[in-house]
Amino acid sequence: MIKFALLANLVAKPGKEQELQTFLTSAAATAQQEPHTINWYSFKINASTFGIFDTFEAEEGRQEHLKGEIAKVIMEKASEWLASPPVIEQLDILGTKLVKV
């Protein structure tokens, strides 16, 4: 059962929006390789604000993801890509509706 999640908000520096968007699009392939990441989404809120939402069945999976390749790249590139430090929130899932498509 999915009980844990992460929500990250990322605000790109002017002129770095496309680089950040390209990375977030390509990072889906990395997330596919993480066995404890159940769902992973990257999204665009507006021209400069992006985010990541992912879910996990256990706290261990969430912590593993926070130490993984996607987080590593974001933290390494933060001063180049981001207008402010990423805001990463750890969430507890209260309810879900999942549809198989």
* Distance, CA of 88 to CA of 97 (rounded, Å): 23
Q: What is the mean pLDDT of the chain?
A: 97
Is residue 75 a part of any domain in this protein? Answer: yes
Average pLDDT over residues 95-99: 90
Number of structural domains (the chain) is 1
pLDDT band at 93 (very low <50, low <70, confident <90, very high): very high
Is residue 74 a part of any domain in this protein? Answer: yes
CATH number reported for the structural domain that contains residue 38 in this entry: 3.30.70.100
Is residue 45 a part of any domain in this protein? Answer: yes
**Which pLDDT does position 66 carry in this prediction?**
97
CB atoms within 10 A of CB 50: 23
Is residue 99 a part of any domain in this protein? Answer: no
Is residue 100 a part of any domain in this protein? Answer: no
Q: Tell me: the pLDDT tens digits for 52-92?
A: 999 999 999 999 999 999 999 999 999 999 999 999 999 99
DSSP code for 66:
H
User: What is the residue range of 61's domain?
Assistant: 4-92
* Distance, CA of 95 to CA of 57 (rounded, Å): 13
Angle at the Cα of 98 (from 97 to 101), degrees rounded to 5? Answer: 145
Starting at the edge strand found earlier in the chain, the sheet holding 39-44 runs: 39-44, 49-56, 4-11, 87-92
